[in-house]
Amino acid sequence: MDDHELSAQLKELDGKLRVRVNDPGKTAILDAQQWKNVFHDITPAEIYRRFAGAAGGNEVKLNITIGRDTPNATINLFHNHEFTGDLASKAKSGLDFIISDGSARLVGADLSAAPTGQSVAKGYMRESAKLFKDIDIKELTLFAERTGGYAWAKYGFQPPTPDRWHSLQDDIARRVPTGAGRIYFQDRVYDITPSEQAAIQAITTAKHPDTLKHLTMLNRVLFTEGDQEITVGKAALIGTKWEASLPLEDGNPAYERFKAYTDDGLARGRGPRGVAA
């Protein structure tokens, strides 16, 4: 892609995808080499096509800022919404990523104002990770907290260093004191079985954070909150705060797990139904 083709594509995508160069002097003009420094051979039209395909019919927009002399970038994927009536207002929601030093970081995600659903959320994550992998980004990182303390572990994210893993293990162990047969969650106490206690203890003493995902598979329901079933695994992880990393490498168990849970189910058809209770 040369300068002419880049310019033509951006003109075609006007109002849907915008690209600017990060230049405090505001004098830099985007050229094809700057684009290639970050996105290699993937064109703006291709990027837009991928995210639009995951948007579930919603109109998605992209703002991309790329470094003038560095392979760094920010990607802001968003929806605009206008609410009418007595509470007329405008809202913006979406995902924000920073690409820097060979890794991508999700720094903001909010689809609350968007008429989207689960498939759009996982579709955006699937396409984001795929894009990053395609441009040789090695890992996707974020800070997990609140419901994310559970959800990101479910999707294969792990603490990136032994210290951070041990810190998360300590947080979980405080909720499930050794031998107590109980789990403390949001100022309440719930009974757990000896098997669950032993399984959690095995995870909170394990050397490798690869075991974290198994905690999210403790699916016995402790209680229901609205339409949410709070399982043992959720009670162990919701509200934990931890630095999370996902290696973007085919064959890596963490990334294979991420792909499994962000899979749209279209490529390989539907499997048998009614597996989990």
Partner 1 sequence: MMATVDSGFAQLLADAAHVADKRGQPVQLVQLRNSYDFFSALGFSDEDILPMMGLTSHSLRLIKAL
Does the protein bind partner 1 through residue 193 (CB under 8 A)? yes
Pairing mode, if any, of strands 61-67 and 17-22? parallel
Element (H, E) at 48: helix 44-54
90 phi/psi in degrees, rounded to 5: -120, 145
Q: Which residues pair with 188 in a beta bridge?
A: 185
Which tokens in the block code for residue 95?
Answer: 């995902």
What distance in Å separates the CA atoms of residue 93 and residue 182, rounded to the nearest whole number?
39
Does the protein bind partner 1 through residue 251 (CB under 8 A)? no
Does the protein bind partner 1 through residue 83 (CB under 8 A)? no
Does the protein bind partner 1 through residue 94 (CB under 8 A)? yes
Of 213, 219, 218, 202, residue with least CA distance to 257: 213
The binder of partner 1 chosen from 8, 91, 180, 198 (CB under 8 A): 198
Comparing CB distances to partner 1, the nearer of 7 and 141 is 141
Comparing CB distances to partner 1, the nearer of 30 and 222 is 222
Instruction: Please give the residues from 127 up to 146 whose contact with partner 1 meets the rule CB under 8 A.
Output: 142-146
First to last CA, the chain: 52
Does the protein bind partner 1 through residue 223 (CB under 8 A)? no
Residues that bind partner 1 (CB under 8 A): 74, 76, 93-96, 106-112, 116-122, 125, 142-148, 150-152, 154-155, 193, 195-196, 198-199, 202, 211, 213-214, 216-221, 229, 231-232, 234, 253, 256-257, 259-261, 263, 265, 268, 270-277
